[in-house]
Amino acid sequence: MTLPDLRGPLRVTVRMHRHALGAALAVTLLAAIALPTGRWYVQSLAADLAATGCKVEHTVPGCGIQVRGFLSRSLYFHEMFFFVALAVSALPLLLGAFVAGPLVGREFESGTYRLQWTQSVGPARWLAGKLAVPVAAVLLVLPAFVLLAAWIRRGTWDTWYPIQWHDLPVYVAIGPVAIGYALLGIGVGALTGLLIRRTLPAMAAAVAAVGVIEAGLVLLRPRLWPALDGRPRNGNDWGVFGPVGHVGTRHHPESHFWPLQLVESTVLLALTAAALVATFALLRRRHR
């Protein structure tokens, strides 16, 4: 099956869901603009504070208002980053619901899939064309957004509110696991949509399934790579287990970020592949 084979189903899918795709792109662009703008704003506030001669470390009389204003606005940016990261963490749930319901489940519930199948588009091509649209959107947009979020986070290291790599939901928004979870949402959504074939029940089942997998992997995450024994060296280390005698705690230093990300991404891609294989096998079994 080649790209020209999918051209027809792709056009149909994009035309049918152009409003949802446009809204998702608009929200992504808004977040991509808000993050660097917020970071630039905090930097400009720091420069303005330095110009007044006031310092956060040693606040002297007459500097209270300036210092409080700087810290409160810096905290606003910190919270905005967390809200954006939370949206990235919720993306697999939204993708699962969208694929299971409007993309797949609604077609079977309304019977409109039969129209395309009678126009030289077989079941496998039809489903591949459906799934290619969200997969392409994820692979084209999300990696660039993840790189932007990681760059913005690194810029907070020298601020009064540094964003830690291991914080939830920051961890998901600044590494390849963001793409893995998004693809998992598509795979699970396709399987539940094909199994249930009704829009709302399929959406609910997809959200529940993706949510359970996400929660399970969050609990397993500290154990995906061997932790170190001893007291964390700095605030960037992630204490993950209880005390180890009088030495300290088991922890992951920031150097474990990439091993943890790559192991979790591998698990996510394996689960996605399993869901997609099961989806196409079920489709072939039901509609030979």
Three-state secondary structure call for residue 253 = coil
Tokens of 247: 């030495």
Q: Which of 214, 192, 210, 5 is nearest to 103 (CA)?
A: 192
**Nearest to 77, CA basis, from 113, 109, 44:** 44
Alpha helices in 53-63 (DSSP H): none
Q: Tell me if 202 sits within 8 A of 196, measured CB to CB.
A: yes
Q: What is the mean pLDDT of the chain?
A: 85
Helix (H, G, I), strand (E, B) or coil at 231: coil
> pTM for the complete prediction?
0.88
103 close to 187: Cβ distance less than 8 angstroms: no
Is residue 2 predicted with pLDDT exceeding 70? no
**d(C-alpha 183, C-alpha 177), whole Å:** 10
Phi/psi-derived region of residue 44, left when phi > 0, alpha when psi is between -120 and 50, beta in every other case:
alpha
Give phi and psi for 198, each to the nearest 5: -135, 135
The answer to whether residues 267 and 182 touch, using CB atoms and an 8 Å cutoff, is no
Q: What percent of the chain has pLDDT over 90?
A: 43
Q: What would the pLDDT profile of 94-146 be if each residue is shown by its tens digit?
A: 999 999 988 898 888 888 777 777 766 778 888 888 898 899 989 999 999 99
Cα separation, 148 vs 220, in Å, equals 27
| pLDDT for the residue numbered 279 | 95
Q: pLDDT tens for residues 134-183?
A: 999 899 999 999 999 999 988 887 778 888 999 989 999 999 999 999 99
Close Cβ partners of 17 (under 8 Å, ≥ 6 residues apart)? 102, 103, 133
Q: What angle, rounded to 10 degrees, do the helices at 3-16 and 18-52 form? A: 80
Measure the N-to-C terminal CA separation of the chain; round to a whole number of Å.
17
- 251 membership: H or E segment, kind and range: strand 248-252
pLDDT digits (tens, 9 = 90+) for 196-212: 999 999 999 999 999 99
DSSP structure string for 160-210: SSPPPTTSTTHHHHTSTHHHHHHHHHHHHHHHHHHHH-SHHHHHHHHHHHH
User: What is the mean predicted confidence (pLDDT) over 278-287?
Assistant: 88
